[in-house]
Amino acid sequence: MKILLVEDELKVASFIKKGLEEQTYVVDHANSGLVGKNLIIKNQYDLVILDVILPHINGFELCRQIRKDDEYVPILMLSALNSPDDKIKGLDAGADDYMSKPFNFSEFLARVRVLFRRAHQQHPETIITLADLELNRDSKTVTRSGKHITLTAKEYYLLEFLLINKNRVMSRAEIAENVWDASFENGTNIVDVYINYLRNKIDKNNTPKLLHTVVGMGYLMKE
Ligand code: CA
* One domain, residues 80 and 139: no
Residue span of the structural domain in which 182 resides: 127-221
- Rounded Cα distance between 177 and 14, Å, is 35
Picking from 121, 139, 159, the residue at the C-terminal end of a domain is 121
* One domain, residues 164 and 217: yes
**Residue 186, Ramachandran bin (φ over 0: left; ψ between -120 and 50: alpha; else beta):** beta
The predicted model scores a pTM of: 0.58
3-state secondary structure of 219: strand
- Please give the distance, rounded to the nearest whole angstrom, from the Cα atom of residue 81 to the centre of ligand 1: 10
Are 1 and 27 in contact by the 8 Å Cβ rule? The answer is no
Per-residue pLDDT of the chain (223 residues; tens, 9 = 90+): 689 999 999 999 999 999 998 887 888 999 999 999 999 988 778 899 999 999 999 999 999 999 998 888 999 999 999 999 999 999 999 999 999 999 999 999 999 988 987 776 665 578 899 999 999 988 889 999 999 999 998 899 899 989 988 998 998 887 886 677 544 566 678 899 999 999 999 999 999 999 999 999 999 999 9
Picking from 121, 156, 171, the residue at the C-terminal end of a domain is 121
* One domain, residues 140 and 107: no
- Please give the distance, rounded to the nearest whole angstrom, from the Cα atom of residue 25 to the centre of ligand 1: 22
Q: Where are the beta strands (DSSP E) in the chain?
A: 2-6, 26-30, 47-50, 75-79, 97-100, 127-130, 133-136, 141-144, 147-149, 211-214, 218-221
- Please give the distance, rounded to the nearest whole angstrom, from the Cα atom of residue 50 to the centre of ligand 1: 9
* One domain, residues 137 and 173: yes
- Please give the distance, rounded to the nearest whole angstrom, from the Cα atom of residue 209 to the centre of ligand 1: 42
- Please give the distance, rounded to the nearest whole angstrom, from the Cα atom of residue 52 to the centre of ligand 1: 6
CATH number reported for the structural domain that contains residue 169 in this entry: 1.10.10.10
- Please give the distance, rounded to the nearest whole angstrom, from the Cα atom of residue 93 to the centre of ligand 1: 17
CATH number reported for the structural domain that contains residue 60 in this entry: 3.40.50.2300
What is the Cα gyration radius of the chain? 20
* One domain, residues 92 and 192: no
